Amino acid sequence: MEDKLIIGGVELESRLFTGTGKFPSKEVIRETLEASNSQVVTMALRRVDFDNPEENVINYIPDNFTLLPNTSGARTAEEVVRIARIAKAAGCGNWIKIEAISDNKYLMPDNQETIKATEILAKEGFVVLPYVSPDLMVAKRLEEVGAAAVMPLGAPIGSNRGLKTKELIRILIDEINLPIIVDAGIGKPSHAAEAMEMGADAVLVNTAIATASDPVKMAQAFDYAVQAGRIAYLAGLGAVKDYASASSPLTGFLKGE
Amino acid sequence: MSFYEEYKRVKNIDFYSFFAQVTKYDVEKVLAKDRLREEDFLVLLSPVASDYLEEMAQKAHKLTVQNFGKVIFLYVPLYLANYCVNQCAYCGFSVKNGFKRNKLTINQVEEEAKAIMDKGIKDLVVLTGESRKHSPVSYIKDSIKILTEYFSSIAIEVYPMKTEEYKELVEAGVDGLTIYQEAYNEEIYDEVHITGPKKNYRFRLDAPERGCQAGMRRVNIGPLLGLDDWRKEAFFAGLHANYLQNNYMDTEISLSLPRLRPHLGSFQSNSIVDDLALVQIILAYRLFLPRVGISLSTRESDKLRDNLLPLGITKMSAESSTAVGGYAKDKGVKQFDISDERTVAEIKELLLNRGYQPVFKDWQQL
Ligand code: SF4
Q: What are phi and psi of B58, to 5 degrees?
A: -60, -45
Q: Would you state the pLDDT for residue B365?
A: 81
Q: Is B192 in the pocket of ligand 1 (CB under 6 A)?
A: no
Distance CA B297, CA B359 (A): 16
Instruction: Indicate whether B8 belongs to any domain.
Output: no
Nearest Cα to Cα of residue B224 among B178, B264, B266? B178
pLDDT higher than 80, residue B298: no
Q: Are strands A181-183 and A202-205 parallel, antiparallel or unpaired?
A: parallel
Compute the average pLDDT of residues B224-247. Answer: 95
Compute the average pLDDT of residues B30-51. Answer: 95
Q: Would you state the pLDDT for residue B267?
A: 61
Rounded to the nearest angstrom, the minimum Cα separation between B245 and chain A is: 7
Q: Is B86 in the pocket of ligand 1 (CB under 6 A)?
A: yes
Instruction: Indicate whether B28 belongs to any domain.
Output: no
Beta strands in chain A (DSSP E): 5-7, 10-12, 16-19, 40-44, 66-70, 95-98, 127-132, 151-152, 181-183, 202-205
Q: Which of A18, A23, A30, A49 is the best residue to mutate to test the B interface, defined by the most B CB atoms within 10 Å of its own CB?
A: A49
Q: Would you state the pLDDT for residue A216?
A: 93
Percent of chain B with pLDDT over 90: 61
Instruction: Indicate whether B93 belongs to any domain.
Output: yes
Distance CA B290, CA B253 (A): 11
Cβ of A160 within 8 Å of Cβ of B68? The answer is: no
Question: Which domain does B201 fall in, by range?
Answer: 55-359
Q: What is the ipTM of this complex?
A: 0.77
Q: Would you state the pLDDT for residue A238?
A: 47
Q: State which amino acid sits at residue A240.
A: V
Hey, is the C-beta of A52 within 8 angstroms of any chain B C-beta?
Answer: yes
Compute the average pLDDT of residues A186-202. Answer: 94
By mean pLDDT, which of A93-107, A182-196, B310-324 is the weakest?
A: B310-324
Compute the average pLDDT of residues B207-217. Answer: 97
Nearest Cα to Cα of residue A58 among A17, A29, A96? A29
Q: Would you state the pLDDT for residue B269?
A: 62
Compute the average pLDDT of residues A196-224. Answer: 93
Q: Say which residue, B163 or A90, is predicted with more confidence.
A: B163
Q: State which amino acid sits at residue B147.
A: L
Q: Which residue of B has its CA nearest to A20?
A: B69
Q: Would you state the pLDDT for residue B98?
A: 73
Centroid of ligand 1 to alpha carbon of B297 (angstroms): 17
Instruction: Indicate whether B16 belongs to any domain.
Output: no
Q: What is the mean pLDDT of chain B?
A: 89
Distance CA A42, CA B331 (A): 43
Nearest Cα to Cα of residue A100 among A157, A141, A48, A146? A157
Q: Would you state the pLDDT for residue B9?
A: 94
Q: What angle is formed at CA B139 by the lines to CA B134 and CA B141, rounded to 5 degrees?
A: 150
CATH code assigned at B173 = 3.20.20.70
Q: Would you state the pLDDT for residue B330?
A: 58
Q: Would you state the pLDDT for residue A251?
A: 64
pLDDT higher than 70, residue A249: no
Instruction: Indicate whether B293 belongs to any domain.
Output: yes
Q: Would you state the pLDDT for residue B82?
A: 86
* The ligand 1 atom nearest the CA atom of B94: 5
Q: What angle is formed at CA B121 by the lines to CA B117 and CA B126, rounded to 5 degrees?
A: 85
pLDDT higher than 80, residue B329: no
Neighbours of B183 (CB within 10 A): 24
Q: Would you state the pLDDT for residue A229?
A: 94
Cβ of B364 within 8 Å of Cβ of A23? The answer is: no
**Which residues, in sequence order, are CB contacts of B350 under 8 Å at separation 6+?**
B306, B342
DSSP 8-state code for residue A45 = G
Percent of chain A with pLDDT over 70: 91
Q: Which of B79, B91, B334 to mutate to test the pocket of ligand 1 (most atoms within 8 A of CB)?
A: B91
Distance CA B360, CA B234 (A): 28
Q: What is the pTM of this model?
A: 0.86
Rounded to the nearest angstrom, the minimum Cα separation between B252 and chain A is: 6
Compute the average pLDDT of residues B204-223. Answer: 96
Compute the average pLDDT of residues B237-257. Answer: 95
Domain count across chain B = 1
The answer to whether A8 is a known ligand-binding residue is no
User: What domains can be seen in chain A, in order of their start residue?
Assistant: 5-252 (3.20.20.70)
Residues of A designated as active site = 97
By mean pLDDT, which of A1-10, A132-141, B331-340 is the weakest?
A: B331-340
**Could you tell me what percentage of chain A is helix, strand and coil, using 3-state DSSP and rounding each to the nearest 5?**
40, 15, 40
Centroid of ligand 1 to alpha carbon of B84 (angstroms): 6
Rounded to the nearest angstrom, the minimum Cα separation between A12 and chain B is: 28
The answer to whether A207 is a known ligand-binding residue is yes
pLDDT higher than 80, residue B268: no
- From the centroid of its chain, how far is CA B333? 21
Instruction: Indicate whether B319 belongs to any domain.
Output: yes
